[in-house]
Each structure stands twice: as C-alpha cells, then as structure tokens.
Structure 1
Amino acid sequence: MTNFNTGRIDSASRIISAPPPAVYQAFLNPEALVSWLPPKGMKGRIETFDAREGGTYRMSLTYVEANRSTPGKTTEDTDTVQGTFLKLVENKQIVQRIEFESEDPAFAGAMIMTWTLRAVSKGTEVTIVCENVPEGIRQDDHEEGMRSTLANLATFLE
C-alpha cells in the first residue's frame, strides 16, 4: 500500500470517570475494546489481536444504520483496519499505526493514532490524536466518530 502523507491531524478529548489503569486495560482486552470502540451506528469484530509493542490486530467495523451518507472503506458497509501497536506506556499512552483495507487511494497510507491518558481529579483525561489522516475521511465525520467512541468508553467504564 502506498503511504501518502496527508499531514492532517484530527483530535478529540474527554474526561472519563475512571482511573488511568482501568482505561488502559479497556484497550488491552479485545472483548472490552470491541464493545466500546465502534462509534455510534457501527458494530465491531476483532479477527486477530496481539496487545504488545510490535503486536498487530485486525478489526472490522460494520455500519448498522441504513440511512447514512458515507459508504464503507473496505466494502459498502464495512471498514476493515490492520493495526500495529507501536508504543504501549502502561496507564499513560497507546500509539498505533492504522491502515485501512481499501482499493480506494483516498484511504491509502498509514495513520498514526495516539491515545494519551492523563490522571485528573475526576478520573482520566483521554485524548486521541490522529496524524496523517487519509484524505478520504471527512474531518467532521472523523472527529464526531472519535467523540462517539470516547462517549462509549465513558459508558463502558463509569
């Protein structure tokens, strides 16, 4: 897959009423991850999962809403990604390289997704920063999806 560097950065943040260790563990358990990661209107399936630095995973997110404006990136109703854990800092940070399985060059390249966990008085501030976002992903849709994922994480842990 060609690696186009778009230079675009999308981000979202939310305070989760849970301590950093609980948030961190929600990333490392595939059953937990697939229950909260899919944004509103999608459901997830994890096909492979190896949560260690250098480990990989493959996940498919399927749209469950019939009336939506954007098609899937891999098939009409599915986004499949291959992820690699680049860095795991216990209770503080998860850095992943994400590549979409797509024939469309607008989704080509590797996106770097950094999840930062910072202890705050009310729990954990979770910040997602996505670098080199493929041009085929609309920024408004992407940031809305990240906010939805953070809301799901809050529901899962609180």
Structure 2
Amino acid sequence: MPRTDRASKLIAAPLERVWAALIDPDALAAWLPPSGMTGRFERFDPRPGGSYRMVLTYADPSDAPGKATADSDIVEARFVDIVPGERVVQAIDFVSDDPTYSGTMLMTWSITDNGDDHTRIDIIAENVPDGIPAEAHAEGLASSLTNLATHTER
C-alpha cells in the first residue's frame, strides 16, 4: 500500500545557504546520511533529468542490515524538477533484491524563507516502499534535517 511520509524543520540559516546544501554533492554527502551512516556519490548531475547514485554505508549493520549489501543501501535517483531557491523533486529507487523495497519513491524538498535568516524545509516522500518502516523513515528524515541544520547554521 503506498504511503506518504512528511518531515519539516526550521533552520537558523538563510535560504541561499540551505539551497546550496541541497544541490552541492559535497554538502549532500556530509549531511544527507542519517545518523549511523556515511554516504558517497558515484555520480551526480543536478539538473532536471539528471541523476545520481549514492552509496550509504552503515557504521554498524547489525541493527539495520543494508538493502543492497550487508552493510549498505544504494540509491538511484533522478532529478524530476529543480526550482532554484524553492524545491528539489527526486524520483528515488533503492537497489535491492527484496521486492518490499521496489517502486519509485517521489521526494520533494521545499524551502521557504521564514525571515530573520531562518529557512523552513519541508520534505514529502510519496510512494514510500513497504520495506521501509514508517518509524525508521521518520527517524531517518529527522536525522538528515538535523544534520542539514548543523551543516548550514553558523
């Protein structure tokens, strides 16, 4: 059954800095992996129709085995839409032999200037694969947003 998950955060950083962190591969690799994971891009082409492949590696895979290998998740993503300073929309597929992770998840990252050098970021994840437990996904999204705040707030 398709599921939609949402997360949001108010970040004490100007919109321009938050936007830059959404489209820069070095910044993304630093803040996007949830707590307990590291990430690296095998390719990254940030334009509508462009794509990326990211390998997320678990520090301790005993608590949450990877979807692609015993210690990693691999994400194949395509940029559906990029509106500078407003939103990034991605179609995301997980590399896995497990059919519960199949299907394309649509993720929309929207940012809004909240005044006084604060930016609100909202994430909507549609068609979340059944293999991703709702609670774990909520924790992962919240962790990434906290990392983004840490990365952009000065």
Q: 2:32 aligned with 1:50, yes or no?
A: no
1:88 is displaced (CA, Å) by: 0.5
- Residues of 1 paired with 2:67 and 2:6: CA distance? 20
Percent identity of equivalent pairs: 47
Query: What's 2:77 paired with?
Result: 83
Which amino acid is the alignment partner of residue 83 of structure 1? A
- CA RMSD in angstroms comes to 1.0
Work out the number of aligned pairs and report it.
Answer: 152
**Mind listing any 5+ residue stretches in structure 2 that lack a counterpart?**
none
Which amino acid is the alignment partner of residue 76 of structure 2? Q
| Residue deviations 1:18-65 (CA, integer Å, cap 9, x gap) | 122211111211111100000000000110000001000000100002
Query: What's 1:125 paired with?
Result: 120
Q: 2:91 aligned with 1:97, yes or no?
A: yes
| Residue deviations 1:90-114 (CA, integer Å, cap 9, x gap) | 1110000000000000000100000
Query: What's 1:112 paired with?
Result: 106
Which of residues 60, 68, 73 in structure 2 aligns to 1:65? 60
What is the TM-score normalised by the length of structure 2? 0.95
Which of residues 137, 140, 150 in structure 2 aligns to 1:142? 137
- Residues of 2 paired with 1:66 and 1:47: CA distance? 21
Q: 1:25–1:138: structure 2 CA closer, same or farther, 3 Å change rule?
A: same
**Mind listing any 5+ residue stretches in structure 1 that lack a counterpart?**
1-5
Query: What's 2:7 paired with?
Result: 12
What is the TM-score normalised by the length of structure 1? 0.93
Which amino acid is the alignment partner of residue 103 of structure 1? D
Q: 1:106–1:66: structure 2 CA closer, same or farther, 3 Å change rule?
A: closer
- Runs ≥4 in structure 1, deviation > 6 angstroms? none
